[in-house]
Amino acid sequence: MGGMTDPAPVTPTPPAPQSRTTITPRAPQMTAAQMLADNVATRVREIAAMASLVMLAKWGLLPGQWAAIVIAAIVLPIEITRQVGKTIGARAAALGAGSGAVAFVVLLHKALTWGAIATVAVAAVTGCSAQQQHRATAGVIVSSGGVVEGLRQSNRDAYVHATDALRARVQGEEYARQSEPIDTAFRARGRAIRDLTGVLYASARLNDRPDVTLAERAAAARDILEQLRDLTAILRDGSVLPPIPIPTAVDDAEAGLQSLATLVAGGAQ
Amino acid sequence: VSPETIEVLIRAAVTVGAEAAIAISKAVHAGDVDTVSQLSAVLPDEHRQQLEDEALIQRQRALAGVVDAT
């Protein structure tokens, strides 16, 4: 052990020459903040693109299979360019060489992504096709039918309750005399509810006329709004029969008409 | 019944024929809401609803013992 001699001094060997395939960054490295910002922007763009496509399919009222095909037809080119861009970029970086193809593919990818978003944005601004608008209007009308039916039932319930209570006190001719204002109010409400169907239909149709100018729509909205308020006032009147609760859908229609009607006051043309 | 209801019954006669309209009218006066609904199913909704409402009024009057002179 003690007879061991000191080891010979190690001569440092010169470093081996670098291989041509060693990765050498050609551009200055991005800072962490820049990378984070770039990553966030990409994710936002992707989420916006997907949400837009889903909205597009929903707007188009496409059946499930067709919606999937439409989305795939738009998404696939975007994803393919992204993967091609990654591959070309990695190879170019590995070779330490620049590639115009990288820039081209990246630009193509961005163009496709933003193209999808812009298409849906334009569709949102210009509105749906006449057929789609008609379908949407039909949906509103169907739902308004349910609303009106609910009002009719409420009106009948209120009438039956009031006349049952009256019958418990009086009968015969006295009932006929005292029930007259109740019958009149019931008939007036029934008439108002029947007219309300037409008013809600007209309200829905306002959005189904792309050929009508905004000013004309606003003027029509004012007329319809006035009728709607007159009719709901009859239903809310509790002087003879208890007031009928107005469904939220009717309030929503009134708010929509109010918004459109105020465009005239705002000078929209 | 109200003049509006009479007008609806006259219109119903044009749509479904005189016999069916008379049957609807009898059901309205009797306060038979279900029969009115069935017989007037082919009429426009607003007419059917008006006839049903009128039948309901007549039913309540009948329950109260009101004798209709008509």
Greatest mean pLDDT among A116-130, A200-214, B2-16 lies in: B2-16
Confidence band, pLDDT 50/70/90 cuts, at residue A94: low
**Residue by residue, what is the 3-state secondary structure of A215-268?**
HHHHHHHHHHHHHHHHHHHHHHCCCCCCCCCCCHHHHHHHHHHHHHHHHHHCCC
DSSP annotation of A199 reads H
Number of H helices, E strands in chain A: 8, 0
Q: Does B57 sit within 8 Å of A156, measured CB to CB? A: no
| B22 close to A (CB below 8 A) | no
Q: Is the pLDDT of residue A186 over 70?
A: yes
A38 versus A194: the higher-pLDDT residue is A194
For residue A261, the model assigns a pLDDT of 82
For residue A58, the model assigns a pLDDT of 58
A120 versus A269: the higher-pLDDT residue is A120
In chain A, the percentage of residues whose pLDDT exceeds 90 is: 25
Mean pLDDT of A164-185: 95
Specify the range with the lowest mean pLDDT, choosing from A115-129, A195-209, B13-27.
A115-129
Q: Is the pLDDT of residue B59 over 50?
A: yes
Element (H, E) at A135: helix A130-169
Tokens of B23: 């049957």
Describe chain B by its helix, strand, coil percentages, rounded to 5.
75, 0, 25
| Distance of alpha carbon A182 from alpha carbon A162, whole angstroms | 8
Number of H helices, E strands in chain B: 4, 0
Q: Does A156 sit within 8 Å of B60, measured CB to CB? A: no
Four-point Cα dihedral A184, A156, A240, B27, nearest 10:
30
| Distance of alpha carbon A68 from alpha carbon A23, whole angstroms | 42
Q: Is the pLDDT of residue A170 over 90?
A: yes
| Distance of alpha carbon A121 from alpha carbon A84, whole angstroms | 27
| Distance of alpha carbon A225 from alpha carbon A200, whole angstroms | 10
**A–B: how many Cβ contacts below 8 A?**
52
pLDDT in tens, B15-46: 889 999 999 999 999 999 999 999 999 999 88
Confidence band, pLDDT 50/70/90 cuts, at residue A71: low
| B65 close to A (CB below 8 A) | yes
Question: For A66, what's the count of Cα atoms within 13 Å in the CB-facing half-sphere?
Answer: 8
Greatest mean pLDDT among A20-34, A80-94, B56-70 lies in: B56-70
For residue A252, the model assigns a pLDDT of 84
Q: Closest to A175 (Cβ–Cβ): which among B46, B50, B66?
A: B66
pLDDT in tens, B45-54: 889 999 999 9
How big is chain A, counted in residues? 269
User: 3-state DSSP call for residue A10?
Assistant: coil
Q: Is the pLDDT of residue A250 over 70?
A: yes
Angle at A129 between CA A123 and CA A130, to 5 degrees: 150
For residue A255, the model assigns a pLDDT of 87
This model's pTM is above 0.90: no
Q: Closest to B61 (Cβ–Cβ): which among A176, A190, A191?
A: A176
| Distance of alpha carbon B56 from alpha carbon A189, whole angstroms | 14
A62 Cβ contact list (under 8 Å, min separation 6): A70
Best mutation site among A151, A154, A179 for testing chain B: the one with the most B CBs within 10 Å? A179
Average pLDDT, chain A: 73
| Distance of alpha carbon A110 from alpha carbon A107, whole angstroms | 5
| B70 close to A (CB below 8 A) | no
Mean pLDDT of A153-163: 95
Tokens of B69: 């002179």
Question: Residues A74, A57: contact at Cβ < 8 Å?
Answer: no
Best mutation site among B4, B49, B54 for testing chain A: the one with the most A CBs within 10 Å? B49
The string of DSSP codes covering A92-114 is HHHHT---HHHHHHHHHHHHHHH
A20 Cβ contact list (under 8 Å, min separation 6): A96
A121 Cβ contact list (under 8 Å, min separation 6): A52
Contacts of B4 in chain A (CB under 8 A): 187, 191
Taking the CA of residue B47 and the nearest CA in chain A, the distance in Å comes to: 9
For residue A31, the model assigns a pLDDT of 66
Greatest mean pLDDT among A15-19, A49-53, A74-78 lies in: A74-78
Taking the CA of residue B12 and the nearest CA in chain A, the distance in Å comes to: 17
